[in-house]
A = this chain, B = another copy of it.
């Protein structure tokens, strides 16, 4: 295992996805630990720390890709939290989903907004 990439990845994962990201990695420990390592080393160690896009732009792109793929509600939950963690306002996340309507149709946007609604509510409840 490449310690440098792994350490960079863990730091990025914490900064972006926080508890949600760590839970995903934790849940993989008994079943597919290498999958967790690749997420940390490749997605968060290689891709996220690159120059050329801000973290906010990377999260905008990520939640767009997840909405468009469809069936990725658990990952949308993690990355809507990630988008909020790096400072994107809730209204902007909704606006990004609305921008997708002409390209994906309404149903996938409705599914993504439903996840956002739950994420926003959970964070509001937690902050009270």
Contact = CB atoms under 8 A, between A and B. Distances in A.
Given A28-B113, A58-B99, A98-B47, A104 B69 contact: yes
Nearest to A109: B35
Contacts of A102: 39, 42-43, 47, 105-106
A114 to B, nearest CB: 8
Contact of A98 (B34, B57, B70): B34
A84 interface: no
A64 to B, nearest CB: 4
A68 interface: yes
Contacts of A52: 91-92, 94-95
Given A31-B117, A42-B42, A113-B28, A103 B66 contact: yes
